[in-house]
Amino acid sequence: MSAEKKLTQLSEVGEFGLIKLLSNKITIENKSTLKGIGDDAAVLDFSGKQVVVSTDLLVENVHFDLAYVPLKHLGYKSIVVNLSDIYAMNAKPTQVTISIAMSSRFPVEAVEELYEGMRLACKRYGVDIVGGDTSSSIKGLIISVTALGEVEKGKAVYRNGAKLNDILCVTGDVGAAYMGLQLLEREKQVFKTDPNMQPELENYEYLIERQLKPEPRNDAITFFAENGILPTSMIDISDGLSSEILHICEESNVGCRVYEDKIPLDPDTDRFARELNIDPSIAALNGGEDYELLFTISPFDYEKIRNNPVFSAIGHITDIERGTFLVARDESEIPLEAQGWRHN
Query: Domain boundary residue among 100, 117, 151?
Result: 151
Query: Domain boundary residue among 117, 151, 185?
Result: 151
Give the separation between CA 108 and CA 7, rounded to whole angstroms.
Answer: 7
Quickly list DSSP for 52-116. EEEEEEEEBTTTB-TTT--HHHHHHHHHHHHHHHHHTTT-EEEEEEEEEEE-TTS-HHHHHHHHH
pLDDT, residue 312, reads 98
CATH number at residue 45: 3.30.1330.10
**Percentage of the chain lying above the pLDDT 70 cut:** 90
**Does residue 162 form part of some domain?**
no
**Does residue 253 form part of some domain?**
yes
**Does residue 286 form part of some domain?**
yes
Position 174 pLDDT exceeds 90: yes
**Does residue 343 form part of some domain?**
no
Contact between 27 and 35 (Cβ < 8 Å): no
pLDDT, one tens digit per residue, over 150-170 is 999 999 999 999 999 999 999
pLDDT, residue 343, reads 44
Q: Are residues 321 and 195 in the same domain?
A: yes
Cα-Cα-Cα-Cα dihedral sign, residues 134, 131, 83, 253: positive
User: Which residue would you say has higher pLDDT here, 203 or 216?
Assistant: 216
Q: Supply the mean pLDDT for the chain.
A: 90
CATH number at residue 253: 3.90.650.10
Q: Are residues 251 and 286 in the same domain?
A: yes
Average pLDDT of the segment spanning 210-215: 97
Q: Are residues 138 and 173 in the same domain?
A: no
Q: Are residues 201 and 139 in the same domain?
A: no
Q: Are residues 224 and 306 in the same domain?
A: yes
Total count of residues recorded for the chain? 344
Give the separation between CA 36 and CA 131, rounded to whole angstroms.
Answer: 6
Pick from 86-90, 185-189, 318-322: least confident = 185-189
**Does residue 3 form part of some domain?**
no
Residue 271: how many CA atoms within 13 Å on its side-chain side?
7
Taking each helix axis from N to C end, the angle separating 71-87 and 108-124, rounded to the nearest 10 degrees, works out to 30
**Does residue 340 form part of some domain?**
no
pLDDT, one tens digit per residue, over 324-336 is 999 999 999 999 9
Give the separation between CA 48 and CA 214, rounded to whole angstroms.
Answer: 32
Domain count for the chain, please give it. 2
The neighbour count for residue 280, using CB atoms within 10 Å, is 20
Q: Are residues 223 and 132 in the same domain?
A: no
Q: Are residues 197 and 67 in the same domain?
A: no
**Does residue 1 form part of some domain?**
no
Q: Are residues 191 and 331 in the same domain?
A: yes
Q: Are residues 171 and 143 in the same domain?
A: no
Position 341 pLDDT exceeds 60: no
β-sheet with 92-102: strand ranges across: 50-59, 141-151, 92-102, 128-136
**Does residue 200 form part of some domain?**
yes
Q: Are residues 105 and 62 in the same domain?
A: yes
**E strands, the chain, in order:** 33-35, 43-44, 50-59, 92-102, 128-136, 141-151, 167-171, 233-236, 255-259, 293-297, 311-318, 324-327, 333-335
**Cα 185 to Cα 20, 147, 158, distances in angstroms:** 37, 30, 35
Query: DSSP letter at 4?
Result: T
Query: DSSP letter at 260?
Result: G
* Domain range enclosing 314: 167-335
Query: Domain boundary residue among 86, 118, 151?
Result: 151
pTM: 0.88
The amino acid occupying position 329 is R
pLDDT, one tens digit per residue, over 95-106 is 999 999 999 899
Q: Are residues 124 and 177 in the same domain?
A: no
Query: What is the end-to-end Cα distance of the chain in Å, rounded?
Result: 26
Phi, psi of 34 (to 5 degrees): -85, -40
Q: Are residues 269 and 222 in the same domain?
A: yes
